[in-house]
Amino acid sequence: MTSWPGLVLRGVILALVVALVTVPEAFRPVFAPVAPTPQQAIYTRTSILSLAMSHLALVAIACAAATIVAVTLAIAVSRPGGAAFRPLSRTIANVGQTFPPVAVLALAVPALGFGSGPTLVALFLYGLLPVFENAMTAFATLPKTTLDAARGMGLTRAQRLWQVELPLALPVILTGVRLSVVISLGTATIGSTVAASTLGEVIIAGLLTNNTAFVLQGGLIVGLFAVLIYDAFVLLEVWLARRTGRATTR
């Protein structure tokens, strides 16, 4: 996992994405062959750095909110008293997922206006399901004898939740967060159609002007972000799972 070639590859990808974001001009020769004119090889209307930062911030905020809500919900319905709500909450989360993102944006604009608001709502809704499903699985598969021992030793409900259930569920929950983050990174690009500032702006500008260079530039950065973040989550999950002696989950 943390072999030398792996480390080198990660370093190269990280350096590449940092360079793409901070000194886009340096890549003019790379994108020029697919641009209509050499002047249009690099997107310059807005700073790529600020677009990238706001893209990441939107994803981070939406996923953090989705994680908190989904995990709280999963905790609630995995208590004995919440069992009755389990099928219902699953259905709601699933229906949320089948709604096309564009429709969510279209519906949210009248309520929230143009800008980041509708995008945050869409990302939040799309982030819920993977985290919720994984958290449900995590809570349902906790080792029974450990929970029984925890209760038998006199841990209160809250102590069992914070000291035993959540730490043991964490690696599986993180798998859900990882999926949700990767989905959001891609979905956020559509947000620029309703004037959220994301890297989608670069891609859409390219599509509107038939400029493959812009599409490639925006797509490459989003893709590399996804690769790096996915990888970081996997490393964290493996480390946590190894610490608790569970088989590695992927």
Residues binding other proteins (CB under 8 A): 143, 145-156, 159, 164, 167-168, 243-246
End-to-end CA distance of the chain, in Å?
Answer: 13
Compute the least distance from the CB of residue 146 to other proteins, in Å. 5
Q: Which C-beta is closer to other proteins: that of 90 or that of 246?
A: 246
Compute the least distance from the CB of residue 152 to other proteins, in Å. 4
Residue 71 · residue 162 · CB < 8 Å: no
Compute the least distance from the CB of residue 142 to other proteins, in Å. 10
Q: Which C-beta is closer to other proteins: that of 114 or that of 243?
A: 243
Distances in whole angstroms, Cα of residue 147 to Cα of each of 47, 142, 243: 52, 8, 18
- DSSP H stretches of helix in the chain: 4-22, 28-31, 48-78, 86-98, 101-112, 116-140, 144-152, 157-160, 166-187, 200-208, 212-243
Q: Which C-beta is closer to other proteins: that of 22 or that of 148?
A: 148
Compute the least distance from the CB of residue 166 to other proteins, in Å. 10
Q: Which C-beta is closer to other proteins: that of 100 or that of 143?
A: 143
Q: Give the whole-angstrom CA distance, residue 250 versus residue 5.
A: 21
Compute the least distance from the CB of residue 74 to other proteins, in Å. 19
Q: Which C-beta is closer to other proteins: that of 110 or that of 154?
A: 154
